[in-house]
Structure 1
Amino acid sequence: MLTHPMLEQMQTLGLGGMAAAWRDLVTQDRAGELSREEWLGLILDREIAVRADRRLSNRLASAKLRFPDACIENIHFTAPRGMDRRAVLSLAQGGWLKAQENLIITGQTGTGKTWLGCAFGRQAARDDHSVLYLRMPRLFEDLALARLDGRFPRLVDKLARVQLLILDDWGTHTLNGQQRLDLLEIFEERYRRKSTLITAQLPVSAWHVMIGEPTIGSCPTAWCRFAVSPL
């Protein structure tokens, strides 16, 4: 007699996972053998799992990863790309994110830099970090438009707040003066507060030329403690 009112109350309170677990339990023959504590534990476990899944789905949707299904578990270390398995798996533990440190992934075209960056992004989302993926050309387009329509401060604030910012296709063209200043603004806002992951075909040694200004050119390399280089 109490089943339906309790289910309605659970749904009203947004406890859909608990309600689903309750419905499953009442159909099991041995449910009556469970203690009240066991019942409560099982339905709470389901609610926690449902909320975690929903939170991960929302984070991945917001991240806009180019390869949303990329994950650390699917990395093929046997492929001839020169990746250090121990280093990659250590980075996957997320200590660099907790310490607000940064990561550079460099390598030639087709070596899987973007995919690997997305795998780190998905792992960060699993660990309950907010993530945002952006290709550098798109970033500069968004910044230019935001400057024109007055959204620039809000956009920089959004980029500053995300816990892991993934910047893909770094170094595809030489930066102009405004782009250099915009990047400096973003890096300054994020320095020692949030983590940034950069993927680049261009070797780090050539970044100063691409950025075009020695002072600003030293910022990304100085702020990135870790590097992974698929060959």
Structure 2
Amino acid sequence: MNYQTVEQLTEMKLHAMKLEYARQEELPASSELSFDDRLAMIVTAQYDARVRAKTNRLIKKAELREPTASLSDIDYDSARKLKKTDVVRLADCQWIKSGNNLIITGATGVGKTYLLSAYGRQACMQGYSVKCYRTTRLLTNLTIGKGDGSYNKLMKDLVRPDLLILDDFGMKQLDLGMTQDFLEIIEERYHHQRSVAISAQLPVKDWPSVFKDPTIADAVLDRIVRNAYRFNLKGPSRRPTVEHMPAYADDSASEKEYIEQ
């Protein structure tokens, strides 16, 4: 009977249940548990395994720039002007459920991408779908899409996730076409009450300078900023300096190869 049960669990691909069942069979103390207790442990094992698998799929699909970033590992050094209470307040991701936005600003290297990725990963762990893009690259892909016919599909893909992460916004001024595309993205997500999380070096007050058309700038900012939580990170760059980088035997390696090692 035990063999048949194991085979059936295998055939139904209930592998976590099979492992928990086998574990209980090997432990003499399990015989002291009631049937209901043992069944509950077996079902819980399968449920937890499916939750983990779903979370891993969501994290992989999100394509976060820092996929292992975690809110529990945030550094609250006083120089960063980052309050733990403010970070934890958003950890339940209710702001995503409510369709609110998140804005993280600060100088280069202060940890904007890490914090943004940590919230993205937290959202995945809460069961929300997430997608992360570098802003300029995304807008370039949309421009290309107008020529190769992929524009409409990409735009639809930008509406689907519960949370859309746009990293490195404002690195350069957007031309009129990119400005209109950015408005289209924000307008569609605003219409569907879906959240956007943005990181930028520029303070929010300077964002209008990124857009070629001031009218479009007003429309975009009204839809993003009005219902957004904000973090403005301070402090020195957290990226390793040259003297803290690992040394390599081959001094002839290119800069690209050096960085990638």
C-alpha contact 2:166 2:199 (8 A) present in aligned 1: yes
Partner of 2:43: 44
**TM-aligned CA distance change 1:79 to 1:4, over 3 Å:** farther
Q: Distance in 2 between matches of 1:95 and 1:129?
A: 11
- The CA deviation string for residues 29-56 of structure 1, in whole angstroms up to 9 with x for no partner, is 1222222111110001100110011011
Equivalent residues in 2 for 1:126-141 (5 A)?
A: 126-141=125-140
Q: Distance in 2 between matches of 1:220 and 1:12?
A: 52
Q: SS state of the match for residue 38, structure 1?
A: helix
Q: Distance in 1 between matches of 2:32 and 2:125?
A: 35
Equivalent residues in 2 for 1:114-125 (5 A)?
A: 114-125=113-124
Partner of 1:68: 67
Q: Which runs of 5+ in 2 are unaligned?
A: 235-261
TM-score, normalised to structure 1, is 0.95
The Cα shift of 1:103 comes to 0.8
Partner of 2:29: 30
Q: Distance in 1 between matches of 2:128 and 2:195?
A: 10
Partner of 2:230: 227
Partner of 2:211: 211
Partner of 1:195: 195
Q: SS state of the match for residue 197, structure 1?
A: strand
Q: Distance in 1 between matches of 2:116 and 2:132?
A: 9
- The CA deviation string for residues 147-204 of structure 1, in whole angstroms up to 9 with x for no partner, is 2221111111111011111100000011011101111111111005211000000111
The Cα shift of 1:216 comes to 1.7
**Residue 214 of structure 1 aligns to which amino acid in structure 2?**
P
Partner of 2:103: 104
The Cα shift of 1:16 comes to 1.3
The Cα shift of 1:205 comes to 1.1
Q: Distance in 2 between matches of 1:172 and 1:166?
A: 15
TM-score, normalised to structure 2, is 0.85
Root mean square deviation, CA, Å: 1.2
Q: Distance in 2 between matches of 1:56 and 1:219?
A: 35
The Cα shift of 1:144 comes to 2.0
Q: Distance in 1 between matches of 2:174 and 2:216?
A: 11
Q: SS state of the match for residue 202, structure 2?
A: coil
C-alpha contact 2:183 2:220 (8 A) present in aligned 1: no
Q: SS state of the match for residue 80, structure 1?
A: helix
Partner of 2:165: 166
Q: Distance in 2 between matches of 1:35 and 1:142?
A: 59
Partner of 1:151: 150
Partner of 2:83: 84
**Residue 233 of structure 2 aligns to which amino acid in structure 1?**
P
Q: Distance in 1 between matches of 2:140 and 2:13?
A: 40
Q: Which runs of 5+ in 1 are unaligned?
A: none
Q: Distance in 2 between matches of 1:8 and 1:137?
A: 52
Q: Distance in 2 between matches of 1:22 and 1:126?
A: 27
Q: Distance in 2 between matches of 1:13 and 1:187?
A: 43
Partner of 1:56: 55
C-alpha contact 2:91 2:119 (8 A) present in aligned 1: yes
**TM-aligned CA distance change 1:219 to 1:9, over 3 Å:** farther
